Amino acid sequence: GAGVSQSPSNKVTEKGKDVELRCDPISGHTALYWYRQSLGQGLEFLIYFQGNSAPDKSGLPSDRFSAERTGGSVSTLTIQRTQQEDSAVYLCASSSDLAGGVATDTQYFGPGTRLTVL
C-alpha cells in the first residue's frame, strides 16, 4: 500500500473486554512503532519492533498490553481486560532502517485507532 494503514479506525468496547488493534506498515519498512495519544496528553511510546531483534517493550503501561509482529510486517496490539483509562488514539508508525540498524529515517504514521472503553 501507499502508506501505513490501521484497523479498525474506531473501536468501542466495554470495560473488561479484550481488544486487538492492527497495523499494516509500509512495505519494506523494517521498523514499526506503537504510540498512544490520550486526551490532553502528548504521544507516548508503547513498543518498538526493529527487524528480527527482540522488541523494545519499555513503554507498555502494564502487562495487560502486548504486541506482536508476524513475518516482519503486520503488527497487532492487544489490550486485555480493558480499563477506561485505556481510552485513547493508538497510532502506528513505520520507518526504514539505515546502515547500522538505526532507524533514522522519517517515521510515517497511520491514521490511528480511536479506542473508547465504556
List own/partner pairs for 45-49 with CB under 8 A and 24 or more apart: 46/77, 46/90, 47/77, 49/75
Is 38 near other proteins (CB under 8 A)? no
Is 110 near other proteins (CB under 8 A)? yes
- Encoded one letter per residue, x for contact with other proteins by CB under 8 A and - for no contact, window 49-88 reads -x--x--x--x-----------------------------
Separation CA 21–CA 8 (nearest Å): 7
CB of 118 to other proteins, least distance (A): 20
Is 118 near other proteins (CB under 8 A)? no
> Residue 43 contacts by C-beta under 8 Å, 6 or more apart in sequence?
35, 36, 37, 91
Interface with other proteins by CB under 8 A: which residues? 4, 33, 35, 41-45, 48, 50, 53, 56, 59, 91, 93, 101-104, 106-112, 114
